[in-house]
Amino acid sequence: MCQIKSTAEIVFTGREGLRRIIICTGTGCVANGALDVYNTFLEEMAEADIEVVTHFKSLNEIRTPANGVYLSKSGCQGFCQMGPLVSIDPDNILYNKVKAEDVKAIIHKTLLKGEVIKSLLYVEPSSGKIFRSQKDIPFYLRQTRFVLKQCGELNPEDINEYIAIGGYKAAEKAFRDMTPEQICKDMLAAGLRGRGGGGFPTGYKWNVCRIQDNAKKYIICNGDEGDPGAFMDRSVMEGNPHSVIEGMMIAACAIGADEGYVYVRAEYPLAVKRVRQACADALAFGLLGNNIFNTGRSINIRVMEGAGAFVCGEETALIASIEGHRGMPRLKPPFPAQSGLWGKPTVINNVETLATVPLILVNGVEEFRSMGTEKSPGTKTFALTGHVANTGLIEVPFGTTLREIVMEVGGGITDKKGRIDPNGFKAVQIGGPSGGCLTQEHLDLKMDFDSLRSIGAMIGSGGLVCMNQATCMVAVAKYFMQFTQRESCGKCVLCREGTKQMLYLLEDIVEGRGTKETLSLLEELAIVVQKGSLCGLGKTAPNPVLSTLRYFKDEYIAHVVEKRCPTGECKKLAKPEIHPEKCKGCTLCSKKCPVGAIKGEIKKTHVINDKKCIKCGVCAQVCKFDAVTGV
């Protein structure tokens, strides 16, 4: 069995004579060619006769000074749109949008000569300022990377490196020095709340399971992240899988479980691969299996791939899936902590919650509570996407305002051309299909469980989809209703048929068939589905509809009364038009129109024949002056 040393005894960062190149190999960067960059580094450094270390065989090897370069992969570093990202330490250099053809220059200029390649550094769009290191970039500077800190620094495929920075020390403390009751009390004292949805107190859930009189119990990690635009849990599993395994071990110790499952959707192949490897390595090191830390206790963890059903994010549906049944929820109580997997007491926590647990035991309750708010301590990861300058994975303390997240960390709202628009903010959809819309009046709202609940919204898993003024909120509601209607398991009538009927009503509205009575019926139906559905999917499915009806009623009215879409996004209601004050008469639109629907002379305003127009959108795409609307 591996003997865990203290963090002070094993220091990797700044190791004498060894430089480190970290290549982000989270899913986003891999999609943009990060693995090609990694392989090119291996080839070019071999040609340059540079000694390369790609992994460590033991803790002793990490402690031994050496020369050369440690070339390592990492999980998601957060700044997704700038990937592939390459960090060079201890030089404190971050290169972005690196291609395989850039590698040779990085080796010969930066590694061998100490020169910085300015063309690969990050340039802030609004100021034009160039940043050399990650810690100085505003996107990172305004965050508090607590759970995500190691995701962009560790090699997720090397257990030695996780152990070298103190990994599994928290598990050792839990198994050797704490009683199950003490562990639960620490979680309650820390105020840790579930990061996967409703924010239920983790310590309370564990304690309910702990006191159940049953020799067999289970711990399950819910990695079935299904919200559109959400990728927080995926990134933690890809970037620091051992933190999740360690969190599960501590939970198992607290409740008396000897068996666990990591349930990951099959659409996350990289997360599945790295979590499986982490489990195998932990077992080989004696950290999983029998007689853990010589305490006589056992814990075995398996990885199970889910089929990608959104409803399996619900606890009882997830349990049904693991048992080999169709993923469908059941009535509660009994709750899983009382009767869960195969009728045994079971605790289910999401990935981020479990990854937070070891940090609480190692750093202490007070340090954790020093971040966030009194009732929502700690930090929260968010997937920031949509019409925002800096898309990516972020982490901020609870209580950070929406304005700070979108305008500072996110860098502001962008227009159709990707330019910063100071007045462009329209809304943010938080919590995916289960959440609701936050508008300009909510920009100074604190992002924590209770503040959001007070306005009828929820953090959910942490997806934040930003929308600019050109977004049709009726179309947004229709998009999320399409998603939840498809994902309904069909068990209860209100969800199965109610979401279908709401979708039909929304289609009537965006296609010009809606009336004021349609709006009344839509709202009434949404409230009924919300109140009467069996599980969280059905109960929250109407949220996007109800929140857009509440805050953007004027857009619905325009659709059903005036038969127009104010943004021009709903093509069935849009009238193609060229605005005279913007048109310069360049003739580009008329030349590109495939059906000859645009007429006009050079340097004079052009006109669209709406009877001939097929609304293909080519004219709007080629127009350099944003003069075309309604297509």
State the average pLDDT over residues 282-286: 96
SS3 state of residue 580: coil
Q: Above 50 in pLDDT, residue 345?
A: yes
Amino acid at 196: G
State the average pLDDT over residues 190-203: 91
pLDDT band at 518 (very low <50, low <70, confident <90, very high): very high
Q: Which of 161-175, 560-574, 581-595 has the lowest mean pLDDT?
A: 560-574
384 has which bridge partners?
Answer: 392, 464
pLDDT band at 65 (very low <50, low <70, confident <90, very high): low
Amino acid 10: pLDDT: 34
Q: Above 90 in pLDDT, residue 63?
A: no
Q: Name which of 565, 576, 570 is nearest 599 in CA terms.
A: 576
> How confident is the model over 535-557, as pLDDT tens digits?
988 999 999 999 999 999 999 99
The answer to whether 631 and 622 have CB atoms below 8 angstroms apart is: no
Amino acid 455: pLDDT: 87
Q: Name which of 482, 625, 512, 614 is nearest 572 in CA terms.
A: 512
State the average pLDDT over residues 234-251: 97
> How confident is the model over 66-81, as pLDDT tens digits?
667 899 999 999 999 8
Superfamily the domain 18-160 falls into = Glutaredoxin (3.40.30.10)
> How confident is the model over 294-317, as pLDDT tens digits?
999 999 999 999 988 888 888 999
**What are the boundaries of each domain within the chain?**
18-160, 167-367, 379-471, 474-560, 575-631
Amino acid 551: pLDDT: 95
Q: Which of 120-129, 254-263, 591-600 has the lowest mean pLDDT?
A: 120-129
Amino acid 369: pLDDT: 97
> How confident is the model over 367-380, as pLDDT tens digits?
999 999 999 999 99
State the average pLDDT over residues 36-48: 95
State the average pLDDT over residues 514-531: 96
State the average pLDDT over residues 42-59: 87
Amino acid 56: pLDDT: 78
Amino acid 389: pLDDT: 92
What's the CATH fold of domain 575-631?
A: Alpha-Beta Plaits (3.30.70)
Q: Above 90 in pLDDT, residue 205?
A: yes
Cα dihedral 554/558/560/564 (nearest 10): -150
State the average pLDDT over residues 170-199: 95
pLDDT band at 631 (very low <50, low <70, confident <90, very high): confident
The answer to whether 430 and 478 have CB atoms below 8 angstroms apart is: no
Amino acid 123: pLDDT: 93
Q: How far apart are CA 189 and CA 80, in angstroms?
A: 35
71 has which bridge partners?
Answer: 21
Do β-strands 52-53 and 628-629 pair in parallel, antiparallel, or remain unpaired? unpaired
Which comes out higher in pLDDT, residue 588 or 460?
A: 588
pLDDT band at 17 (very low <50, low <70, confident <90, very high): low
CATH number of 474-560: 1.20.1440.230
Q: How far apart are CA 91 and CA 114, in angstroms?
A: 9
Amino acid 5: pLDDT: 36
The answer to whether 234 and 306 have CB atoms below 8 angstroms apart is: no
Amino acid 64: pLDDT: 60
Amino acid 16: pLDDT: 52
Cα dihedral 115/117/122/123 (nearest 10): 110
Amino acid 462: pLDDT: 86
What percent of the chain has a predicted confidence (pLDDT) above 90? 77
Q: Above 90 in pLDDT, residue 18?
A: no
Residue 187 belongs to what H/E stretch?
helix 180-190
Token representation of residue 293? 């830390």
CATH number of 167-367: 3.40.50.11540
Angle between helix 553-560 and 473-487 (nearest 10): 90
Amino acid 320: pLDDT: 95
Q: Above 80 in pLDDT, residue 363?
A: yes
> How confident is the model over 476-512, as pLDDT tens digits?
999 999 999 999 998 999 999 999 999 999 999 999 9
Q: How far apart are CA 332 and CA 336, in angstroms?
A: 8
Mean of the per-residue pLDDT values of the chain: 91
Q: Above 70 in pLDDT, residue 12?
A: no
Token representation of residue 310? 């959104």
Angle between helix 351-363 and 180-190 (nearest 10): 100
The answer to whether 147 and 153 have CB atoms below 8 angstroms apart is: no
> How confident is the model over 219-234, as pLDDT tens digits?
999 999 888 878 899 9
Order of strands, sheet of 346-350, starting from the edge strand that comes earlier in the sequence:
300-306, 259-265, 218-223, 346-350
Amino acid at 10: I
What's the CATH fold of domain 379-471?
A: Ubiquitin-like (UB roll) (3.10.20)
Residues ≥6 apart with Cβ < 8 Å to 196: 222, 233, 313, 349, 350, 351, 352, 353, 461
Q: Above 50 in pLDDT, residue 451?
A: yes
